[in-house]
């Protein structure tokens, strides 16, 4: 699939791809949950997961292109235990490598043509391009929120719907699509992935404040110290007058952050966040049970969904 | 087409697109030569140019996404008489807006489905994604060349084949494809565009040293002062020992550059470059005459090809 993609160009891009994707022996390649969901949904919906591999590759490439660019946008220097692409090769090479990966994703979809009718392949292309619009729009909102003083809960959910949930929704819907499911069924697959993505992101926000640093790999109370407008903080803005001022001015070091995290538990914010995770997870599972899906794969998907929101990192 | 693309997302991305593309009244929108070529080739090959508009929009979006990212990569601050996107909105927003435009290009192709069979639309998608791989590979080489001491003529042509010629080749081939031409004919359309692109780029390199600043809008001898490894300089490396040292160490100001530009004329380098332009242009026109194309459109394409290489900017 990927190996050899740039062979005819005699280009270093292949080396960068291999590095970022973690394809070398012993490299951390990430959870690859999006491609896993796609293949499971294909098989569960009565299709053949092996035929759907090009779509799974494309989804994973889109996710990884977005990580390469995210790391430039927020100046992230480490990813999966390795230096980020832009940090290792410079901003210009890194930015362009992300673009190349974006192109490679769409290019990969042509390999579906071996097994599927052109109509189906074209629908996959359209689904992926629409999803990338949602993704970039979510990313835009995320960047913009950093510059703003206040963000509402509604705006937050609009942002993560694009930034996090859209690609998970796309992965699941693509499985239904490739297995020949109709639009109504595809919507259930899509909604399962979307709510899963929302639950995942909200839980990630919980981990960013109350997660165990030894396990998450993030520093203690990292999101508070970095003044990240994650959901817990946004709920604070929304429900407690004076919260913004305290959050904005009162956190200088880890001790302040620890005190603030405690205070947020007392205010009931931490519970609100976990309740939200449970609610979103429930909606995800509701959709899972509306999907025409073999019972063994449904069982795996349910387990996967539950594990994603009580995961450690 | 474009207006309204982000309506459902209530996003600022539409404003950024409108700004960069020059869609506001009186804005400089660029030459739009790629979409023009696509529509002319469609009509000349016996198709209906109006039906090909979504493809022309997609091509123009790909070109413009690459400009937004190029401007970040080389820190360009002005484009078409306006501040570049990253300069106006910041690097993170600008980078992501380029990604959004890339996604919008592929998303636009779905509008071909109104008039064309899925097989043809899918071939257009595949052609565009393959072209984007070539484009990013050419861009990679261009960035990499800046860091290297020497670049050979062969390497230079491999680079501009991706960076400049690939999208022009794609524009022309897409016209042939949408008009229903077979692969052999599509290859002639593609070659016409490719040689046109190569001639265009080599002439652009000529303009960068010997062009009239009042007309090109660039400063006098700009490529020499910026130590750009454009073709004239690469030919100097190749044919004249000691040229590299002089070029690398001897150009500090406009007077040095003027003297150097004169010297390059004496060495016959300037003539070599213009000969190359003529040769490439001839190959382009040769392919134009192999194309099944109506004689009136062929006449327009020939004029356009000749004008592109004696253009002022």
Residue A131 CA to residue A106 CA, distance in Å, equals: 12
Q: What is the mean pLDDT of chain B?
A: 93
Q: How confident is the model at residue A312 (pLDDT cuts 50, 70, 90)?
A: low
Residues of B in contact with A121 (CB under 8 A): 118, 122
A-B Cβ pairs (cutoff 8 Å, strict): 156
- Mean pLDDT to the nearest integer, A205-229: 86
Q: Give pLDDT, residue A1.
A: 45
Q: Do A125 and B130 touch (CB under 8 A)?
A: no
Interchain proximity A95–B107, CB inside 8 Å: no
Interface test with B, best of A17, A96, A112, A126 (most B CBs within 10 A): A96
Q: Which tens digits make up the pLDDT trace of B146-191?
A: 999 999 999 999 999 999 999 999 999 999 999 999 999 999 999 9
Summarize pLDDT for B50-91 with one digit per residue, the tens. Answer: 999 999 999 999 999 999 999 999 999 999 999 999 999 999
| Of B142, B192, B165, B173, residue with least CA distance to B298 | B192
Among chain B residues, CA nearest to A109: B126
Inter-chain touch B144–A93, beta carbons under 8 Å: yes
Residue of chain A minimizing CA distance to B112 = A122
The answer, yes or no, to whether residue A313 has pLDDT greater than 70, is: no
For residue A79, what is the enclosing H or E element?
Answer: strand A78-79
Chain A residues whose CB is inside 8 A of the B69 CB are 95-96, 99
Q: Which of A199-208, A263-272, B10-19 has the lowest mean pLDDT?
A: B10-19
Per-residue pLDDT reduced to its tens digit, B1-53: 455 666 665 679 999 999 999 998 888 888 899 999 999 999 999 999 999 99
Which bin fits B80, alpha (ψ -120 to 50), beta or left (φ > 0)?
left
Which letter, b or e, does each residue of A37-73 get, where b requires 16 or more Cβ atoms within 10 Å of its Cβ?
bbbbbbbbbebebebbbbbbbbbbbbbbbbbbbbbbb
CB B297 within 8 A of CB B40: yes
**How do residues B83-138 score in pLDDT, each as one tens digit?**
999 999 999 999 999 999 999 999 999 999 999 999 999 999 999 999 999 999 99
B24 to chain A, closest Cα gap in Å: 22
Distance from CA of B59 to the nearest CA of A (A): 14
Alpha-carbon gap: B285 to the closest alpha carbon of chain A (Å): 27
Tell me the chain A residues in contact with residue B91 when contact means C-beta distances shorter than 8 Å. Answer: 72-73
CB B84 within 8 A of CB B94: yes
DSSP A109: G
The interface predicted TM-score (ipTM) is: 0.96
* A72 contacts in chain B (CB < 8 Å): 91-92, 95
**Do A103 and B129 make contact, defined as CB atoms within 8 angstroms?**
yes
CA A23: distance to chain centroid? Answer: 20
pLDDT at A6 over 70: no
Chain A residue with CA closest to B158: the answer is A9
Q: What is the pLDDT of residue B213?
A: 77
Nearest to B176 by CA among B31, B34, B39, B33: B39
Across the range A58-87, mean pLDDT stands at 96
- At A220 the pLDDT is 77
Q: Check whether A198 has a pLDDT greater than 90.
A: yes
Please name the member of B12, B69, B106 whose beta carbon is closest to the beta carbon of A106.
B106
Task: For chain A, give the mean pLDDT.
Answer: 94
Nearest to B103 among A69, A133, A143 (CB): A133
Nearest CA to B165 out of B140, B134, B130 is that of: B134
CB contact under 8 A, B91 and A103: no
Tell if the CB–CB gap between B13 and A136 is shorter than 8 Å. Answer: yes
pLDDT over 80 (residue A248): yes
Q: Distance (Å) from the C-alpha of residue B119 to the closest C-alpha of chain A?
A: 6
pLDDT beyond 80 at B313: no
- For chain A, what is the radius of gyration of the CA atoms? 20
Instruction: Please report the pLDDT score of residue B1 as a whole number.
Output: 45
Distance from CA of A22 to the nearest CA of B (A): 21
Q: Helix or strand or coil: residue B45?
A: coil
Question: Are B45 and B291 a contacting pair, CB within 8 Å?
Answer: yes
Q: What are phi and psi of B267, to 5 degrees?
A: -70, -10
Which of A9, A136, A139 shows the shortest C-beta gap to B137? A9
> Considering only alpha carbons, which residue of chain A is nearest residue B8?
A134
Is the pLDDT assigned to residue A35 strictly greater than 60? yes
Express as a percent the part of chain A with pLDDT over 70: 95
**Confidence (pLDDT) at A3:** 56
pLDDT on residue A239: 94
Question: Where does the pLDDT of residue B311 fall: very low under 50, low under 70, confident under 90, or very high at 90 and above?
Answer: low
Q: How far apart are the first and last CA of chain A?
A: 29
Q: How far is B141 from chain A (nearest CA, A)?
A: 8
What local confidence, expressed as pLDDT, does residue A292 receive?
A: 98
Task: Give chain A positions within 8 Å (CB) of B98.
Answer: 99
Whole-number pLDDT of residue A308: 82
- B100, A140: Cβ pair inside 8 Å? yes
Closest Cβ opposite residue A73 in set B66, B96, B130: B96
Burial class (CB in 10 A: 0-12, 13-18, 19+), B50: exposed
Q: Which of B108, B116, B143 to mutate to test the interface with A (most CBs of A within 10 A)?
A: B143
């Amino acid at each position: 699939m990927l190996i050899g993609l740039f062979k005819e160009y005699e280009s270093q891009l292949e080396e960068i791809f291999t590095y970022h994707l973690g394809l070398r022996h012993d490299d951390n390649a990430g959870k690859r949950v999006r491609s896993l969901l796609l293949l499971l949904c294909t098989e569960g919906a009565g299709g053949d997961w092996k035929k759907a591999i090009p779509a799974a590759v494309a989804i994973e490439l889109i996710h990884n292109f977005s990580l390469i660019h995210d790391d430039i946008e927020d100046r992230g220097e480490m990813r999966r235990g390795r230096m980020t692409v832009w940090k290792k090769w410079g901003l210009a090479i890194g930015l362009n490598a992300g673009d190349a990966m974006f192109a490679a994703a769409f290019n990969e979809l042509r390999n579906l043509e071996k097994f599927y009718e052109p109509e189906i392949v074209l629908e996959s292309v359209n689904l992926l391009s629409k999803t990338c619009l949602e993704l970039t729009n979510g990313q835009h909102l995320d960047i913009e929120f950093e510059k703003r003083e206040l963000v509402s809960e509604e705006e937050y959910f609009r942002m993560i719907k694009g930034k996090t949930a859209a690609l998970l929704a796309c992965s699941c819907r693509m499985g239904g699509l490739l297995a020949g499911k109709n639009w109504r069924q595809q919507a259930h697959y899509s909604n399962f992935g979307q709510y899963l993505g929302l639950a995942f992101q909200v839980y990630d926000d919980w981990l960013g404040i109350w997660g165990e640093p030894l396990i998450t790999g993030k520093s203690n109370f990292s999101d508070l110290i970095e003044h990240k407008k994650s959901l817990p903080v946004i709920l604070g803005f929304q429900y407690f007058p004076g919260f913004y001022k305290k959050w904005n001015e009162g956190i200088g070091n880890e001790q302040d952050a620890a005190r603030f995290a405690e205070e947020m538990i007392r205010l009931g914010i931490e519970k609100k966040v976990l309740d939200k995770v449970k609610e979103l997870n429930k909606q995800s599972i509701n959709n899972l049970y509306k999907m025409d899906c073999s019972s063994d794969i449904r069982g795996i998907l349910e387990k996967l969904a539950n594990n994603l929101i009580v995961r450690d990192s």
